């Protein structure tokens, strides 16, 4: 088609009929036609698709699309469509040619909005799932669009502070408890749901669940992997930790400690590769809690120790999906559970099978050059070609990182606690009292930044008070009075361990 014919097809709503990619936006089902798409999704994170789209409207107001819902539809091997819903967070006008204007939009999961809200807040005696729910519910896009699927209940935390973006805070809490998330798309393409879990088996399997392997060039089979390789990486073999409980300084089990070795069957690993960490004051109350937290860290390393990388034309693949690999010359000899894999990360490179010449203009920031490089790398792979009835030929490629589904997955510990500095706070307590302490002479404070708590005895956790000279059988104490200002520091810089 020439450009006037393409413009007429867009205006008539025919350009997206039976195509590899379709797009629905608030502008209408056929207002924008996708030319190219590059996407990425990772388990435990969000997903994004960058789309080059064509329109007959050269004066589109970009702000009309910002933060608006949209759905990308990807045609499957059986000609059905899989939806990828999201919100538009970036819109760019690339250029115009022959009555067609090309725009670029970035489509992301609703979780992206968590990056744009930062808060200062504390929670006392709350479970992690309660805290995460409260933060997510601050965002209308998230309400009713997440759920927990946990194999065991989460313990209550005596004190938890946020001093970062909602994105960093939620991911930090999830990582510390061994939680991760995968996404579920509604069949009508109107919503997507975050499933927060601690078990890979909770994430939905790929449909169909079996993926065949074909040697590159040996077949034109679609919906298969044409490349498959494995990678093993050296990791530490032992994790040892220690914590200290100031409430019981003379107990024989204080300091508490944990020691967790890595799983067997990973080769002749050097025994000295131990990581020893002092995790901070009173990190865990009992041994079982400490063992669990240490095991979560070890499982993160074990997950990264062996990964598999694949490429092909599998249409329904997404991060978190489980699949069984078949017809592979090596893995077919493995037991059934060793042939089941879970996708960790997926990258897409797609060129729609539109009747548009690939020799058209490449605008700055457009996806054309990137798609050309990818197509050149996989030149001759007929399984990646997607023809249309009108003779147009598209291109569909996924590159996948996976691990065996039998190995527990834990998200990398990428979100650390914020760096803390000296702060000021006001001593608080019940109305009418001058001094308010517990049996350990700890106090409650109202932080000057706190805009939520009313300034009573529930404004913070119990905070230890530094004394100039005290010990067993000598010294003295000075207790700050209600209404006095105190300086707050943090043990080891830990935002959850304040000290006055």
Q: Measured at the alpha carbon of residue 336, what is the angle toward residues 334 and 339, in degrees to the nearest 5?
A: 65
**Residue 51 scores a pLDDT above 90:** yes
CA angle 300, 303, 304 (to 5 degrees): 90
Q: Look at residue 329 in the predicted model and tell me its pLDDT.
A: 84
- Rounded average pLDDT over 34-54: 95
Cα 425 to Cα 142, 400, 417, 481: the distances in Å are 33, 50, 21, 12
Instruction: Report the DSSP pairing between strands 192-197 and 146-149.
Output: parallel
Residue 264: pLDDT band with limits 50, 70, 90:
confident
Q: Is 62 strand, coil or helix?
A: helix
List the beta strands (DSSP E) in 282-319. 306-312
Percent of the chain with pLDDT over 90: 53
pLDDT, position 332? 80
Q: Is the pLDDT of residue 66 over 60?
A: yes
Res 384: pLDDT: 87
At residue 288, does pLDDT exceed 80?
yes
User: Is residue 325 a contact partner of residue 213, using CB atoms and an 8 Å limit?
Assistant: yes
The CA-CA-CA angle for residues 451, 495, 139, to 5°, reads 50
Distance, CA of 403 to CA of 345 (rounded, Å): 10
Q: Is the dihedral of CA 308, 309, 312, 313 positive or negative?
A: positive
pLDDT score of 47 more than 50: yes
> Cα(450)–Cα(45) distance, rounded to whole angstroms?
29
- Paired residues of 106 in beta bridges: 50, 90
Can you give the pTM of this predicted structure? 0.90
CB 226 within 8 A of CB 311: yes
In 291-417, beta strands by DSSP E: 306-312, 322-326, 340-351, 385-387, 393-404
% residues pLDDT > 70 (the chain): 93
* Distance in Å from the first CA to the final CA of the chain: 74
pLDDT in tens, 446-461: 999 999 888 888 888 8
Cα separation, 187 vs 185, whole angstroms: 6
Would you give the DSSP letter of residue 369? H
Nearest Cα to 500, choosing from 462, 459, 454, 469?
Answer: 462
By residue count, the chain amounts to: 500
CA distances from 379 to 157, 373, 397 (A): 55, 10, 12
pLDDT of the residue at 52: 95
Is residue 287's pLDDT more than 90?
no
Which residue has 């003379």 as its token pair?
A: 250
**pLDDT surpassing 60 at residue 176:** yes
pLDDT above 70: residue 252: no
At residue 76, does pLDDT exceed 60? yes
For residue 243, the model assigns a pLDDT of: 85
Q: Residue 279: is its pLDDT beyond 90?
A: no
pLDDT at 218: 46
CB 320 within 8 A of CB 43: yes
3-state SS assignment for residue 341: strand
Pick the CATH number of 3-110+348-390 from 2.30.110, 3.10.20, 3.30.60, 2.40.10: 2.30.110
Please give the pLDDT value at position 231: 93
- Cα–Cα dist 85/188, whole Å: 9
102 or 467: which leads in pLDDT:
102
Question: What pLDDT sits at residue 246?
Answer: 77
State mean pLDDT over 79-86. 95
* pLDDT confidence bin for 9, thresholds 50/70/90: low
pLDDT top residue among 269 and 143: 143
pLDDT 10s digits, 88-137: 999 999 888 878 889 999 999 999 999 999 999 999 999 999 999 999 99
All residues at 6 or more sequence positions from 441 whose CB lies less than 8 Å from its CB, including other chains = 465, 477, 479
Mean pLDDT to the nearest integer, 474-493 = 87
Query: What is the per-residue pLDDT for 103?
Result: 94
**DSSP reduced 3-state for 144:** coil
Contacts of 264 (CB under 8 A, 6+ apart): none
Mean pLDDT over the full length of the chain: 88
- Decide if pLDDT at 177 tops 70: yes
Of the ranges 75-84, 206-215, 375-384, which is most confident? 75-84
Which residue ranges make up each domain of the chain?
3-110+348-390, 232-306, 419-500
439, 442, 443, 447 alpha-carbon torsion, rounded to 10°: -150
Region 174-188: mean pLDDT is: 95
> ∠298-300-304 over CA atoms, to 5°?
115
Going by pLDDT thresholds of 50, 70 and 90, the confidence category of residue 6 is low
Two tokens, residue 430: 């019940």
Is the distance from CB of 251 to CB of 239 less than 8 angstroms? no
Q: Is the pLDDT of residue 430 over 80?
A: yes
29: alpha, beta or left? (left if phi > 0; alpha if psi -120 to 50): alpha
Q: Average pLDDT of 48-66?
A: 91
Helices and strands in the chain, H and E counts: 5, 27
Q: Which range scores top for mean pLDDT: 275-279, 343-347, 384-388?
A: 343-347
Q: For residue 42, give both structure tokens.
A: 């990772």
Mean pLDDT of all residues in 245-265 = 74
Instruction: Name every residue whose Cβ is closer than 8 Å to that of residue 432 and which is 6 or more positions away in sequence.
Output: none
Domain 419-500 belongs to what topology?
A: OB fold (Dihydrolipoamide Acetyltransferase, E2P) (2.40.50)
């Amino acid at each position: 088609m020439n450009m006037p014919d393409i413009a007429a097809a867009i205006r008539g709503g025919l350009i997206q009929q039976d195509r590899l990619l379709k797009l629905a936006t608030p502008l209408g089902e056929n207002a924008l036609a996708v030319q190219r798409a590059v996407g990425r999704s990772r388990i435990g994170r969000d997903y994004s698709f960058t789309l080059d789209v064509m329109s007959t409207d050269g004066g589109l107001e970009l702000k009309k699309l910002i933060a608006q819902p949209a759905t990308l539809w990807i045609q499957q091997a059986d000609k059905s469509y899989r939806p990828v819903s999201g919100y538009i967070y970036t819109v760019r006008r690339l250029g115009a040619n022959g009555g067609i204007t090309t725009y670029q939009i970035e489509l992301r999961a609703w979780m992206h909005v968590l990056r744009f809200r930062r808060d200062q807040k504390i929670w006392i005696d709350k479970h992690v799932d309660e805290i995460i729910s409260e933060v997510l519910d601050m965002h209308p896009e998230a309400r009713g669009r997440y759920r927990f699927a946990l194999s065991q209940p989460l313990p209550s935390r005596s004190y938890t502070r946020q001093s970062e973006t909602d994105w960093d805070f939620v991911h930090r809490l999830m990582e510390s408890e061994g939680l991760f998330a995968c996404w579920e798309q509604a069949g009508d393409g109107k919503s997507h749901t975050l499933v927060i879990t601690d078990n890979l088996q909770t994430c939905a399997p790929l449909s169909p669940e079996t993926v065949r392997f074909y040697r590159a060039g040996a077949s034109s089979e679609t919906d298969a992997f044409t490349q498959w390789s494995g990678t093993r990486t050296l990791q530490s073999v032992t994790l040892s930790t220690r914590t200290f409980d100031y409430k019981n300084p003379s107990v024989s089990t204080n300091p508490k400690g944990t020691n967790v070795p890595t799983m067997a069957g990973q080769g002749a690993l050097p025994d000295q590769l131990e990581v020893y960490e002092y995790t901070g004051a009173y990190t865990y109350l009992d041994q079982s809690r400490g063992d669990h937290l240490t095991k979560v860290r070890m499982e993160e390393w074990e997950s990264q120790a062996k990964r598999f990388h694949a490429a092909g034309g599998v249409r329904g693949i997404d991060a978190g999906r489980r699949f069984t690999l078949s017809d592979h010359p090596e893995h077919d000899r493995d037991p059934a559970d060793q042939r089941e894999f879970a996708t960790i990360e997926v990258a897409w490179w797609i060129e729609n099978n539109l009747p548009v010449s690939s020799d058209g203009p490449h605008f700055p920031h457009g996806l054309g050059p990137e798609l050309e490089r990818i197509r050149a790398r996989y030149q001759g792979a007929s399984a990646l070609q997607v023809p249309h009835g009108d003779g147009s030929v598209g291109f569909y490629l996924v590159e996948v990182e996976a691990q065996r589904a039998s190995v527990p997955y834990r998200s990398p510990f990428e979100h650390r606690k914020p760096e803390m500095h000296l702060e000021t706070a006001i001593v608080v307590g019940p109305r009418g009292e001058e001094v308010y302490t517990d049996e350990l002479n700890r106090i409650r404070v109202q932080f000057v930044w706190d805009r939520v708590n009313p300034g009573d005895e529930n404004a913070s956790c119990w905070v230890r008070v530094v004394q100039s000279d005290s010990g067993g059988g000598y010294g003295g104490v000075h207790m700050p009075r209600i209404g006095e200002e105190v300086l707050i520091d943090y043990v080891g810089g830990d935002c959850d361990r304040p000290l006055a």
